[in-house]
Amino acid sequence: MSEGEIQFASAKDIKVGRFILIDGVACKVVDIETSSPGKHGSAKMRITAIGIFDGQKKVLLKPSGGDVEVPVITKRKAQVVSVTDANVQLMDAETYEMYEIPIPEELRGKVIAGGEVEVMEAMGRKALSRVLSG
């Protein structure tokens, strides 16, 4: 992991829908619970997030004043070259690089050859995020 791919933010600034790193995995925050400060400590935050590449649920416990790692995510457009049952072959709209990635369950049947999609890239991994045209 290079330094340019990770930023830091205060846990209290994290909102639902933002992206954070939990155990080195880029995740989208789906729920945040905050406990009130106790007699001997600060407020604690329980951040629940879903991995954007593996779909696994992860939980992070942090003091509200603590720092969390935030991945730098880029979104790029790509042309759909071909579609199989579970994967899609894409060509990057800027670099013309060809690559193959899995189709997320919620986008199956919506991705068609010749269409355009948006791909999220973080920490050297890519994931199909949405269908733009097709």
The three-state secondary structure class of 8 is strand
Query: What was the pLDDT predicted at 39?
Result: 78
| Res 21 pLDDT > 90 | yes
Q: Are residue 94 and residue 64 in the same domain, yes or no?
A: no
Query: What was the pLDDT predicted at 2?
Result: 46
Q: What is the mean pLDDT of residues 95-118?
A: 92
pLDDT in tens, 44-62: 999 999 999 888 999 999 9
Q: Which residue segment(s) compose the domain that 44 sits in?
A: 3-71
Q: What is the per-residue burial (b if ≥16 Cβ within 10 Å, else e) of 39-68?
A: eeeeebbebbbbbbbeeeebebebebeeeb
Q: What is the mean pLDDT of residues 122-133?
A: 90
Note the pTM of the prediction, 2 decimals.
Answer: 0.80
Q: Are residue 62 and residue 78 in the same domain, yes or no?
A: no
Among 71, 99, 114, which residue terminates a domain?
71
- Which single residue is written with the structure tokens 């106790």? 38
- Which single residue is written with the structure tokens 């579970």? 86
